[in-house]
Amino acid sequence: MKLSLQAAATLALLSGPAISSPLTPRAAAGPQSTLQQVTDLYPDPTGKVKMYVYVPSQLAPKPAIIVALHYCAGTAEAYFAGSPYAQLADAKDFVVVYPESPHEGTCWDVSSRESLTHNGGSDSAAIASMVGYALRKYGGDASKVFVTGSSSGAMMTNVMAATYPELFQAAIVYSGVAAGCFASAIGLVDAWNSTCSQGESHATSSQWANIVHDMYPGYAGARPRMQIYHGSADAALLPPNYNETAKQWTGVFGLDVDQPKSVKADFPLAGYTTTTWSAEVQGVYALGVGHTVPIRGEDDMAFFGL
């Protein structure tokens, strides 16, 4: 990501492994298999984004596919090691795709017109192509494809849900920003947006929803269920981004962000507040938690229906 001086000062906050919740006994010992780079047959339309996969030693006949997107300064290997998805794949027999950003600083391109458009090119198109490859290669179940990520990976998760909604059943974002919030006014690839990162980008639910609709004009099909995590002490992508992301996805699903179905304090942990607007949109706001909210692997599986 092309960084301003202010942005560079926050890069350390944007970087770093996400810590997971405890795993099931079968998964606790660590991955049973190894991370593998896909170097042939993967049709990357950009020719730049690397694809890595984790395939457990035991694979379901029609496995689910989870796309796990790393943070700034991260790699596929780092997110493989620092997130719980490989161990959970061992326990539940699904495939994990770990894309790797090609950009300086390894943030994802969530700013260019190409990446923010269905079939427009850049990172989003490459990741969508990886999903198609994994479904074909491993005989995956197209009704069980999910995407998640932390920090820059959470930003890209929102972008993938907006640009390729037909691919994903559900998405979980750990400390990101709304889809399109980092858009570059002049269409720069992998550009920093300080207004957004500082929580100063505000819009109505309908305006945020229109940004999503404009990323895939004319799309009228199903959209992935969305779960949004953010910490109240996030100093990298400031806490107002939680509200803006919630406004975006409630707007997309035609919900009133000010009228949630339920608000549950101290859930799933003390200091966390879970707000449920519908079966499609849920937010988890973590009091006193910085950047990023630790990954909750088993809860992710429950939200994904795995």
Catalytic positions are 151
Quote the Cα angle for 187-164-149, to 5°: 80
How far, rounded to the nearest angstrom, does the alpha carbon of residue 108 sit from its chain's CA centroid? 11
SS3 of residue 121 by DSSP: coil
CB neighbours of 67 closer than 8 A, spacing ≥ 6? Answer: 96, 97, 99, 127, 130, 131, 145, 146, 147, 148, 160
Taking the C-alpha atoms of residue 148 and residue 167, their distance in angstroms, rounded to an integer, is 13
HSE at residue 133, side-chain half, CA atoms within 13 A, is: 24
79 CA to centre of own chain: 12
